[in-house]
């Protein structure tokens, strides 16, 4: 898994500021029928999340088990695991999302430190660690108001 800030050109072209990439290698939950929650990145106090997009690059699956047919993903924050996206199917043997999923739901401004979270949900008698392939990209538009205002020169006082 990696989470990175996008380049200036990528930000301008996509209206997103950060990218998360999660692959099957990141899924380590070995207990059957148990979700895996990933704290992706700390959100600065005062920031706002203005949009979230999820794009399935390669659907998740265990090639040796066609009965493993449901893996859903939720994207949220520490306060609500499903704030931005809920129950997006990413399993090959289910009906995986075929077009990018978008959420215009805003998060913040955050008054206390929180994390972006991604939850992978398993199914009865199946363990996420057994998924061998899969890649999901999640794009975020994170507006850090403090960072923007800190870059401005102080206004001279005239009194």
pTM above 0.85, yes or no: yes
Domain edges within the chain? 2-150
Query: pLDDT by residue (tens digit) across 19-46?
Result: 999 999 999 999 999 999 999 999 989 9
Backbone φ/ψ region at 46: left (φ over 0), alpha (ψ -120 to 50), beta: left
Q: Which of the four CATH numbers 2.60.120, 3.30.1050, 1.10.238, 2.40.10 does domain 2-150 have?
A: 2.60.120
User: pLDDT under 70 in the chain at which residues?
Assistant: none
Dist CA 145 CA 125 (whole Å) = 45
Query: Residue 149's pLDDT is what?
Result: 78
Query: Residue 151's pLDDT is what?
Result: 77
């Amino acid at each position: 898994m990696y989470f990175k800030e996008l380049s200036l050109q990528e930000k301008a072209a996509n209206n997103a500021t950060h990218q998360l990439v999660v692959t099957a290698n990141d899924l380590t939950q070995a207990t059957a029928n148990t979700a895996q929650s990933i704290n992706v990145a700390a959100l600065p106090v005062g920031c706002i999340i203005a949009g979230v997009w999820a794009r399935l690059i390669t659907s998740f699956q265990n090639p040796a088990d066609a009965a493993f047919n449901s893996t859903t993903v939720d994207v949220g924050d520490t306060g609500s695991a499903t704030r931005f996206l809920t129950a997006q199917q990413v399993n090959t043997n289910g009906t995986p999302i075929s077009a990018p999923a978008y959420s215009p739901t805003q998060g913040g401004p955050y008054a206390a430190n929180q994390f972006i979270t991604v939850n992978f949900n398993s199914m009865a008698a199946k363990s996420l660690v057994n998924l061998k392939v899969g890649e999901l990209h999640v794009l975020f538009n994170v507006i850090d108001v403090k960072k923007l205002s800190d870059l401005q020169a102080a206004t001279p006082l005239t009194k």
